[in-house]
Structure 1
Amino acid sequence: MKRHYWYILLTYVIMLFSGLVGYRLLLLLGVDRGQVIGYWNIISFAVGLTVVLLLLRKDRGDFDLRGTPASPSTAAGWAIGGIFLAFLAQIIAANIEIQLFGIKPGSENTQRIMDIVKVTPLMIFVVSIAGPILEEIVFRKIIFGTIYKRTNFVLAALISSVIFAVVHQDPSHILLYSAMGFTFAFLYVKTKRIIVPIIAHLSMNTLVIVIQYVYRDDIERLMKDAEQLQSIIGGNFL
């Protein structure tokens, strides 16, 4: 692995755990307790993204994956199509979780994020832009790319996607996040351009966050109605 990739991974890890100090620092500075998490995430992700992009300047014109990168027009097509592929992967994984494992729909990670966004709207920057860019650089370009060079797509995608899922701290939905990781890895290999899964990822996150933010009350009502209906149907078969 390239030396600056290790620095990028270190930056990402420090960023993830920086809240242990950052939250206390903001509290000492008088920031409202309810907004501490949101504001520190904004600060840490902004700094982390800046550092990572500066480190990636060494990769200018250097493609990690073997093969010829897709043309700009082809890459654009896959980036747009990748949004639908990611949603399709989510739907399939969610149905498997529900039907085979009895896992309720809805992500605790998404719920936590939406609670923070509600209090600190600027957190949308982290969810829609900084987060997806950093995740694709770390999990696809570096972790997946490094393993892929030495093994094959399935093994590289499996390892990087499971790590990607674990980092989201939502154990019941590891399958769902792993499915997304596989989709983004496929887009990366198909086009040999990391910008493609980045665009698909940030577009998907932006759509989800906007829908959740604008229609949150309606979604919560529909979820409750669905749970009640499931209870009624289940009761009739007992």
Structure 2
Amino acid sequence: MNNTDFFDFPLARREKLYGTVWLLFETLLFSRILQFLNSLLPTPLPQAEINFLFFIVNFAAVAFILREYLMDQLRLIPETISRIIMTVIVGFLAYFMANILVSSLLLELDPSFASINDDAVSDLVAENFPLMFFGTVILVPIAEECLFRGVVFRGLYDRSPALAWVVSVLLFAAVHILGYIGTASPLRLLLCLIQYLPAGVCLAASYRLSGSLLSPILIHAAVNLVGMIAMR
């Protein structure tokens, strides 16, 4: 492994700052603002369309804020392509193996366990499959990997590798359950949080090992693609 690929392409200070601010805004406020604005329309948009609007704006904001970092990542691809391919294959398989083990454990703890987020996504897929497919398989992996593996994981790694791992993995898991706080029991929220831990670990590991953000983006896209096909 060539460590310089990972360490030679840090985010600029302003990218870390603006990326962090956007991540907090996107996680805590943006969805609520969209829902409020939608409620003011004479004929509110369907939830799948509101969700897609969220994907589009989030993608555009992240691409603009991290444009220099993303250009560095694109220039890096030719010299890291072999490691990208290897880590994508290994990371994808590792994710599904870990997910099977964790899912089995969760079902042992609660035989009726089902992911709240998966249920919500399934409803949106049934409402508008094309929009959800494009958003979930193309837009979401790029935007989320830029934020969680770029801003959070890479942004913290130079200061503390251990902190980068813990914060990025837990934050990635937490963001998938925050919207359901107050509507689901604490136990179910905890189990859903645990369900997303393998993904955070595998995605961060693929970035660290390959040195390229393209690795976690492709793994994330592949995982979501499988999920979309299963929901179809």
TM-score bin (small chain)? 0.7 to 0.9
- Percent identity, please: 25
Under a length normalisation based on structure 2, what TM-score does the superposition of the two structures give?
0.78
- CA contact under 8 A between 1:147 and 1:156: conserved in structure 2? yes
Q: Does 1:134 align with 2:146?
A: no
Equivalent residue pairs, number: 204
Query: Which of 81, 87, 90 in structure 1 is aligned with 2:90?
Result: 81
CA drift of 1:103 comes to 5.6
- Name the residue aligned to 2:54: 44
CA drift of 1:32 comes to 4.7
1:55-110 Cα distance to aligned partner (Å, 9 max, x none): 222225647xxxxx9621221222133222211121122122233x3364431110
Query: Which of 110, 120, 127 in structure 2 is aligned with 1:119?
Result: 127
- CA contact under 8 A between 1:75 and 1:191: conserved in structure 2? yes
User: Which letter maps to 1:167?
Assistant: V
- CA contact under 8 A between 2:56 and 2:139: conserved in structure 1? yes
- CA contact under 8 A between 2:98 and 2:198: conserved in structure 1? yes
- Relative to structure 1, the CA distance from residue 127 to residue 60 in structure 2 (aligned partners, 3 Å threshold; closer, same or farther) is closer
The secondary structure found in structure 1 opposite 2:66 is helix
Rg larger in 1 or in 2? 1
The secondary structure found in structure 2 opposite 1:12 is helix
- Name the residue aligned to 1:189: 208
- Name the residue aligned to 1:225: none
Q: Does 1:102 align with 2:118?
A: no
Distance 2:70 2:33 in 1: 34
Under a length normalisation based on structure 1, what TM-score does the superposition of the two structures give?
0.76
Q: How is 1:136-155 mapped onto 2 (pairs within 5 angstroms)?
A: 136-152=145-161, 154-155=162-163
Q: Does 1:19 align with 2:28?
A: no
- CA contact under 8 A between 1:70 and 1:193: conserved in structure 2? no
- CA contact under 8 A between 1:5 and 1:142: conserved in structure 2? yes
Ranges in structure 2 where 5+ consecutive residues have no aligned partner: 1-11, 178-188
- Relative to structure 1, the CA distance from residue 12 to residue 45 in structure 2 (aligned partners, 3 Å threshold; closer, same or farther) is farther
User: Which letter maps to 2:176?
Assistant: H
Distance 1:146 1:32 in 2: 39
User: Which letter maps to 1:118?
Assistant: A
User: Which letter maps to 1:2?
Assistant: R
- Relative to structure 1, the CA distance from residue 6 to residue 127 in structure 2 (aligned partners, 3 Å threshold; closer, same or farther) is same
Distance 1:43 1:23 in 2: 11
Of the structure 1 ranges 157-166 and 13-22, higher mean CA displacement relative to structure 2 is found in 13-22
Distance 1:145 1:104 in 2: 37
CA drift of 1:176 comes to 1.9
- Name the residue aligned to 1:233: none
- Relative to structure 1, the CA distance from residue 60 to residue 147 in structure 2 (aligned partners, 3 Å threshold; closer, same or farther) is closer
Distance 1:57 1:5 in 2: 12
CA drift of 1:155 comes to 4.1
